[in-house]
Structure 1
Amino acid sequence: MRRCASAIGASIMTKYLIGMDIGTTNVKSVLFAEDGTKIAECGKEYPLYLIKSGWAEQNPEDWWQAAVETISCVIRDSGVEKSQIAGIGVSSQAPTLIPIDQGGNVLRNGLIWMDRRSQPETDFLEREIGSAKVKSITGNRIDPYYLSSKILWFKRNEPELYKKTYKILQINGFINYKLTGAVTTDIAHASLMGVYDVRRNQWSEELAELIGYDTELFPQVYQNDSIIGTVCESAAKLTGLSTSTAVVCGTVDGSAATLEAGAVDVGDAVEMTGTSTVLNICTDEWRDPGLLFEMYHGLKDILMLCGANSTTGACLKWYRDNLYHKESCEAREGESSFDAMNRLAAKSKPGSNKLIFLPYMAGERSPIWDSYARGAFFGLSLNTGKEDMIRAILEGSAFGLRHNIDEAKKIGAPIRELRSVGGGSKSDIWLKIKASVLNMPIVVPDISTGAPFGDAIICGTGLGIYQNPGKFAKEAAKIKKIIEPDTKWNERYNELYEIYLSLYQNTKRDFCQLAEIE
């Protein structure tokens, strides 16, 4: 296993921090001054390999190359001396299966959170162990989303590669390994792997034995803000970073985005819409999450009750890539395709001309947990226009968010305030639809990098820059605007929401039968 010498001095002159988020579609690196001022930002996209229905992979080297390029970019564009960059914190989409051998070589493409090929293994684990047992240890259910079933699929279907596996990393753990040579994972990622005992704060030997693998496969678990090393020489040459720059363990993208939004108190809630939509509600105790799930916040001693819709932004991107035409959508000079689509959606009336969209285009996580569910337009007619289809996608994703919030209310989770971050928060029409579907105001913070600012706060906490990171995050997340619900829209959406819920229940069996057809 490659090792890079790391030494953290007793005192580091702190001036700048890099927050990096590895998303499903792109890497974003942002350089911040320690007072929270954004200095430079850079992003780079990479491919998503949808090999067959329900399969979703990415190449870890694509993540690393994008990380190298974006770090180099923000250093170059900012003009900041590398010696002034005190630390870097990385968050990522989660969870992901990344097996490496003893030499640190990646053995296969990563199976990302969206991959649901391990449904047969999930069914096996449900029969042999049961979700009740798994929930009592991990806090969460059995599902292809988690790594417990993905690893079992890997062992069953690629046994030769499995035998060569030394450790299984998460995405930010892989980037951290490339930066420092240290093999680690953070507590937030560990809580989503399906084999971590959240009450004992250790890997569950019992579950690993029942499933059929060894906990030696998993790296040592660190707190999100733990310093795991400094940038090694090889990574420094590639990125332009200094070998004195510290690397903290990092966290899950949703945890970082929740912190960025200033949500740190019980009842604070954040919805983050990018490829998917994730709802995070701050709590102070592990509970039975019902049809939702739980994980750690970016700061110590804070937990989150979470809901996740898998393909909200991805559905909009699908429409853009397959059905959008610049001319027919009347795109204006210099206007992005998404801006043109938002403008078109605003032309359609609430309810999209009685068109309802199920946003399950890669199966779904909470609250239905169904690998076989698929997207559907219901109510198409000869009067349906492109503006109706686009708006229906926005409304369908808002219904999915409401479904998760309704489940949170059922188990008594308080929602004091809902904030919106991520790419979806840049769409005024989407925000208005969400506020009206939920019948509650949506608060949009002024800073919305997606997750990197949260990463920088976690990094600065580990370095001792922020003595009260929760207070700092709240003060930094100044309110940009508050989107109020429209009462008339809400009345229409209440009617359509009931149909939205019944549509899935009435087609659930058909989706399953469709999946069985080769």
Structure 2
Amino acid sequence: MERLVLGIDVGTSSIKSLAVNDRGKIIASASSPLTIQHAYPGYSEQNPDEWVSVTIETMNNVINNLKQNHSDFEINGISFSGQMHGLIVLDNEYKVIRPAILWNDTRSTAQCEMIKSRLGEIVLGNPVLEGFTLTKLMWLKQHEPAHWSKTKVFLLPKDYVRFKLTGAINMELSDASSTLLLDPSTNEWSEDVGRQFGITNIYPPLVTSDTQVGFLKQSIAEKLGISNKVAVFAGGGDNACGAIGAGVIEPNQSLCSIGTSGVILSCESKQDAEYGNNIHMFKHAVNNLSYAMGVTLSAGYSLNWFKNQCAQNDSFDELMSYAEQSKIGAQGLIFAPYLAGERTPHGDANIRGSFIGLSGMHSLGDMARAVVEGVTYSLYESIAYLRTQGKQINEVVAIGGGAKSEFWLQLQADIFNAKVYKLKHEEGPSMGAAMIAATGLKWYEDIGACVEQFIHKEQVFEPNKERHVAYQSYFEVYKAVYNQTQPLTKKLVELTKQSTHN
């Protein structure tokens, strides 16, 4: 009998389920897309019950695959990863009151300003940004009082899915730390902060990521054709689970994830550190560990945009080969990847992207290289700042789209001035969730022993000191671009709004 766990990632664009055995081998996987609603500019919402139905659909697809190809198996545990910050509010009967307001929804700028005016730029270790859950709760209270009056409890995305699969209401610490409402020094809700904005009595119970919150509901187990004696563990936020799935679980271990957005994540044992420059501080899904995180909003998105606009008929591999033929600094061309504003270090929703230094001599390859370099400079800003704060970042595990190109991996190593590792197999947050379940079941003594068995590095890219020095000169110019273009792009955004209204 093969023992299996399921790792389920409740993403923004899709849900992925992964079946993994007790040796870390992936036995089956399935994913299905999700829909997103944008009712107004800046609004981003999803139907929480679609998450549930699509989760069950992907679980069913995995189990059918197992039944066809692996007759002798048993699913022992399930855990979850999920998109962070999104607000779900439930009524007295634990039914959804309105669609979920997602992490990338920017309607709550006025609420951010209210928090800053009362509590300052940093609250409970984190910058005050529209993405975080407190601002969404405040918006709901102000703009939808009928919905607010019905609210009994709020949850985050994966916590709602887990509730529907088990009947247990709770929120785990790695996700809770992304709400602006968790006190990092006590691991309890900061009711003092909530009370200042009229938010009381709607907090779910808190648990650690490895807590077994219950078992799979009988009705769902029957629908899937499996035993209902499946232990369900709380899981973690997607970045925390992505870090576990990359083996980044100890102080000063670091991660560079390049997907639609880009993330620099570095672990630390301090629970209540505070950084400036829009560096986030969240709880890891590993107990007694936290992580500092910087975010580039348009990382892989910038390359996708450039390909779609300028190189539709070329593959990404071809685009990377063109970029590789250019030189460091892209023949004097710099790209600022602010296509959707920027999170770290600037926290500016109105900044816009730009090519600086463009001339008639520049080729498609120069422009492609400038985009890749610009995205990497933006990520490097987080690394460089964290180093000024005393963090040692000498090795980085690369995951996501930026880890699929050896050219880009070497470029990261040279710009970051750090060793960059590529994993042998990369499954991201769903693997991290599976590892939480495997450890929760006591298949392994701790998450470190699980990482040793499940996660393997395939290749290391060593930084080249001469190239780093060359990149550093262009990086200094890159950093100046924001201040030089900020007033111009702010005016352009205002003019565009005026023309839209006319």
Query: Fold conserved (TM > 0.5)?
Result: yes
The size of the alignment, in residue pairs, is 492
C-alpha spacing 1:172/1:240, structure 2 compared with 1 (3 Å):
farther
Of 38, 45, 48 in structure 2, the residue corresponding to residue 57 of structure 1 is: 45
The 1:385–1:51 alpha-carbon spacing in structure 2 relative to 1, beyond 3 Å, is farther
User: Do residues 121 (structure 1) and 111 (structure 2) align?
Assistant: yes
Match of 1:415?
Answer: 393
Alignment of 1:237-248 (within 5 A): 237-248=222-233
Which of the numbers 311, 314, 324 marks the counterpart of 1:346? 324
Contact 1:145 1:365 in 2 (8 A): no
Among candidates 64, 68, 76, match of residue 76 of structure 1: 64
**Structure 1 residue 59: deviation in Å?**
3.4
- Residue type of the alignment partner of 1:56: S
1:105 maps to 2:95: yes
Aligned to 1:311: 298
Question: CA–CA distance in 2 between the matches of 1:250 and 1:494?
Answer: 39
Q: Gaps (5+ residues) in structure 2? A: 498-502
Write the deviation string for residues 171-203 of structure 1: whole angstroms up to 9, x where unpaired: 111211221122221100111100111112211
1:508 corresponds in structure 2 to: 486
**Counterpart position of 1:223:** 208
Offset at 1:99? Answer: 2.1
Instruction: Work out the CA distance in 1 between the residues paired with 2:473 and 2:376.
Output: 14
Counterpart of 2:153 in structure 1 is 167
For the residue of structure 2 that corresponds to 1:294, the secondary structure is strand
Name the CA shift for 1:511/1:111 in 2 (closer, same or farther; >3 Å).
farther
Shift of 1:103: 3.5
User: Against the structure 1 CA distance between its residues 319 and 108, is the aligned structure 2 distance closer, same or farther, given a 3 Å change threshold?
Assistant: farther
The verdict on how the C-alpha distance between 1:64 and 1:347 changes in structure 2, with shifts beyond 3 A counting, is: farther
Structure 1 letter corresponding to 2:221: A
Aligned pair in 2 of structure 1 residues 205, 312: CA closer, same or farther (>3 Å)?
A: same
Matches of 1:404 and 1:419, distance apart in 2: 15
Output the amino acid matched with 1:351: G
Find out whether 1:258 has 2:236 as its counterpart: no
How far 1:242 sits from its partner (Å)?
Answer: 3.2
Could you tell me how far apart the structure 1 residues matched to 2:186 and 2:446 are? 26
Letter in 1 for 2:299: T
AA aligned to 1:348 is: S
C-alpha spacing 1:302/1:14, structure 2 compared with 1 (3 Å)? farther
One-letter identity of the residue aligned with 1:467: E
Shift of 1:312: 0.8
Report the aligned-residue RMSD.
2.3
- Please give the residue correspondences for 1:47-446 in structure 2 after superposition, counting only pairs within 5 Å: 47-50=35-38, 53-79=41-67, 80=70, 84-131=74-121, 134=123, 138-214=124-200, 216-285=201-270, 286-291=272-277, 292-326=279-313, 329=314, 337-446=315-424
Larger deviation: 282-291 or 106-115? 106-115
Output the CA distance in 2 between the equivalents of 1:244 and 1:271. 37
> What is the one-letter code of the residue matched to 1:42?
A
Deviation at 1:161, TM superposition (A): 2.2
Moved more, 299-308 or 345-354: 345-354
Task: Find the aligned partners of 2:357 and 2:50 in 1 and give their Cα distance.
Answer: 40
User: Cα offset for 1:209?
Assistant: 0.9
TM-score, L = length of structure 2 = 0.91
Question: Secondary structure of 1:117's match?
Answer: coil
- Cα distance change, pair 208–515 in 1 and its aligned pair in 2 (3 A): farther
Residue-by-residue CA offset, 1:240-267 (whole Å, 9 max, x unaligned): 5432212111101111121122222221
Q: Quote the Cα distance in structure 1 between the aligned partners of 2:490 and 2:138.
A: 22
Residues 392-445 of structure 1 show CA distances to partners (whole Å, capped at 9, x for unaligned) of 222111011100001111111122421112333122222122112112220112
Please tell me whether the aligned partners of residues 36 and 476 of structure 1 are also in contact (alpha carbons under 8 angstroms): yes
SS of corresponding position for 1:346: helix
Q: In 1, distance between residues paired with 2:207 and 2:12?
A: 24
Give 1:495's aligned residue.
473
Q: Which ranges of 4 or more aligned residues in structure 1 deviate by more than 6 Å? A: none
Per-residue deviation, residues 274-301 of structure 1 (Å, max 9, x unmatched)? 1211222111113222221211112111
**1:312-333, CA deviations, whole angstroms, 9 ceiling, x for partnerless residues?**
122223334555422xx2xxxx
* Structure 1 residue identity aligned to 2:86: T
| Native 8 Å contact 1:54 1:362 kept in 2 | no
Contact 2:2 2:72 in 1 (8 A): no
**TM-aligned CA deviation for residue 16 of structure 1:** 0.5
Shift of 1:156: 1.7
Q: For 1:107 and 1:352, locate their aligned partners in 2 and report how far apart those are by CA, in whole Å.
A: 51
State the one-letter code of the partner of 1:162.
W
Match of 2:427 in 1: 449
**Identity between Structure 1 and Structure 2 (%):** 29
Match of 2:25 in 1: 37
Structure 1 stretch displaced more, 267-276 or 186-195: 267-276
Residue 450 of structure 1 deviates from its aligned partner by: 1.1
Native 8 Å contact 2:246 2:428 kept in 1: no
What is the distance in 1 between the residues matched to 2:96 and 2:320?
Answer: 40
SS in 1 for 2:402: helix
Relative to structure 1, the CA distance from residue 483 to residue 35 in structure 2 (aligned partners, 3 Å threshold; closer, same or farther) is same
Equivalence for 1:334: none
Cα distance change of structure 1 residues 42 and 514 upon mapping to structure 2, 3 Å threshold: same
Contact 2:256-2:262 within 8 A present in 1 as well: yes
CA shift for structure 1 position 366 = 1.9
In the superposition, relative to structure 1, how do residues 52 and 314 fare at CA in structure 2: closer, same or farther (>3 Å)?
farther
